[in-house]
Chains A and B, each alone.
Chain A
Amino acid sequence: MSIKGKACIVGAYEHPLRKAPDASVAQLHAECARGALADAGLSKSDVDGYFCAGDAPGLGALSMIEYMGLKVRHVDTTETGGSSYLIHVAHAAQAIAAGKCNVALITLAGRPRSEGSSGTQPRNWGANLPDVPFEMPYGPLTVNQYAMAAMRHMHEFGTTSEQLAWIKVAASQHAQHNPNAMLPKPVTVEDVVNSPVISDPLHRLDCCVVSDGGGALIVARPEIAKSLKRPVVNILGTGESPKDLSGGKFDLTTTGAAWSGPAAFEEAGVAPADIDYASIYDSFTITVLLQLEDLGFCRKGEGGRFVADGNLISGVGKLPFNTDGGGLCNNHPANRGGMTKAIEAVRQLRGEAHPKVQVPDCRLALAQGTGGAIATRHGSATVILERGE
């Protein structure tokens, strides 16, 4: 069963705060839910499906359903790190298509900035992990788990730090128009490559921000979407793909987008060249480059040339990306960027992005997420969205 034409994104909300020391994580979830419902023009009692991931406190969905006072008949807590929320969009569409719910609420929130989290600390995924004894002694950090992929890509394809830097430059060009962006100042290629090396070959400015806050989405049946006052955003196609070290036989220059992307394009019935705007998960610059290749926006190995010279800048290049400033400059709430990828894609399709970065006549958008770590195990999710009538 295809989800094409079976569900729409009717509400989207990005929490305006980037530092929230005085709010609980549960409160931030609820504030995001309120924001998305208000955006859609729906009320809490309309929600009959709830989706959340590992950032939700306590028993996850159960704790948050109680906290918010939801009454739902469908629950999904799929956890693939930062890409979870794009998989939730897919699963919400599937649940709606199967008649399991009519209005699905997806929330994300967290306070890593207030809690002192950073990409130079080991992530704690809990106890009993089978891989941990064989990895943790060696100091795997978020940043070096992407740096190793970048190093291999440079070795195989000649990708340069300057090419990676263009990704940050493009994000910063967009962020200057976002009043909520954490890093609103435009930077140059020289700024990026002259910033301190954190883990070879990634510099400080190759990394995303650490921010508190969150976001929420509402997915609903097309009949409900058409009854609301907001522009309709159709979900055309989705794909999801875990990728890991495969028992020690792996290639770190490819992400799960090599599978989730083609699946989403096939379901949507469109091709990469049809995409007007792309939200691409940007935990690090290299994350963007690998996914662009794997999604088919350019051939494997040509990502460096593809992103250079402003090709990702709205109004300048061929593929405007992350026009909110992305995780690299705007927001990476709860260290999980999939939610904000969907939100900016919705803004673009509604024509509600900042006028300086709005893609003219934006009809087709793609949102791509990668959660976990590329140099070990990660979950990829691709969602293709269309501006409705």
Chain B
Amino acid sequence: MATPYQDRDMAAPALNPGDETYFEAAKEGRLLVKRCKDCGEYHFYPRPICPHCFSDQTEWVDAKGTGTIYTFSVTRRAGPVPYAIAHVTLDEGVAMMSNIVDCDLDDIHIGQAVKVVFKRTEDDWVVPCFTPA
């Protein structure tokens, strides 16, 4: 049995002030993460103030764009097409929510190596998704 990936209407990210850098980079095909200049830790989702040490000295860093699937679920009965939601652990050590795309959704598994690709949302934003590496 196969469940081929199908494009779906993704909700636009409702940006808050400060989120533009991340989403403008995504339009250029770059996945940004935040790193703290004081404690050196990465965090996700990105914030101006580090959630680990509360420093305001955080910086945007280009992620390698590779990682592994921590967990996922193929949502089969909610909307017009099935889709795979996941938490992907980036090689930088932090996990982010995403979708697994451009593959047979029935072949997705935990621990699978994935790499970033970008998908268009409503209102012409672009968000990072992942596909088997």
Contact = CB atoms under 8 A, between A and B. Distances in A.
State which size class the interface on A falls in: 35 or more
B110 A152 contact: yes
Contact of B44 (A198, A202, A248): A248
A271 interface: no
B71 A200 contact: no
A144 B85 contact: yes
Contacts of A245: 44, 95
A203 to B, nearest CB: 10
A197 B76 CA distance: 7
B72 A249 contact: no
A247 B85 contact: no
Main secondary structure of the interface of B (DSSP, over half): loop
Contacts of B40: none
A202 B76 CA distance: 10
Given A130-B45, A133-B19, A148-B85, A141 B75 contact: yes
Contact of A134 (B45, B51, B72, B93): B45
Contacts of B117: none
Nearest to B89: A248
A63 interface: no
Contact of B95 (A120, A198, A250): A250
A140 B84 CA distance: 10
Contact of A148 (B15, B16, B71): B71
A248 B43 contact: yes
B12 to A, nearest CB: 7
Contacts of B95: 245, 248-250
B42 A140 contact: no
A141 B73 CA distance: 11
B7 to A, nearest CB: 13
B88 to A, nearest CB: 10
A250 B94 CA distance: 9
B114 interface: no
Contact of B73 (A128, A131, A151): A151
Given A148-B71, A249-B93, A133 B99 contact: no
Contacts of A248: 42-45, 90, 93-96
Contact of A128 (B16, B79, B96): B16
Interface in B42-66: 42-47, 50-52
A252 B72 CA distance: 11
B70 interface: yes
A201 B71 CA distance: 11
Contacts of A247: 41-44, 50-52, 94
A139 B47 contact: no
Interface string B77-113: 1110001011100100111111100000000001100
B120 to A, nearest CB: 10
B3 to A, nearest CB: 10
Contacts of B42: 247-248
Nearest to B46: A134
B116 interface: no
A199 B15 contact: no
Nearest to B99: A138
B51 A147 contact: no
A136 B46 CA distance: 15
Interface string A253-284: 00000000000000000000000000000000
Contacts of B77: 120, 196-199, 204
A389 interface: no
A233 to B, nearest CB: 39
Contacts of B19: 133
A197 B1 CA distance: 14
Interface string B29-42: 00000000000011
A46 to B, nearest CB: 44
A151 B93 contact: no
A23 interface: no
B13 A200 contact: no
B75 A151 contact: no
B25 interface: no
Nearest to A119: B78
12 contacts: A120-B79, A130-B47, A137-B121, A138-B85, A150-B73, A198-B78, A199-B77, A200-B75, A245-B44, A247-B41, A248-B42, A375-B71
Interface of A: 120-122, 127-128, 130-141, 143-144, 147-152, 155, 196-202, 204, 245-250, 252, 375-376
**6 cross-chain pairs, A with B, having the tightest CB-CB distances, nearest first:** A248-B94, A120-B78, A248-B44, A247-B43, A133-B13, A147-B73
Interface of B: 8, 10-16, 19, 22-23, 41-47, 50-52, 70-79, 83, 85-87, 90, 93-99, 110-111, 121, 125, 127, 129
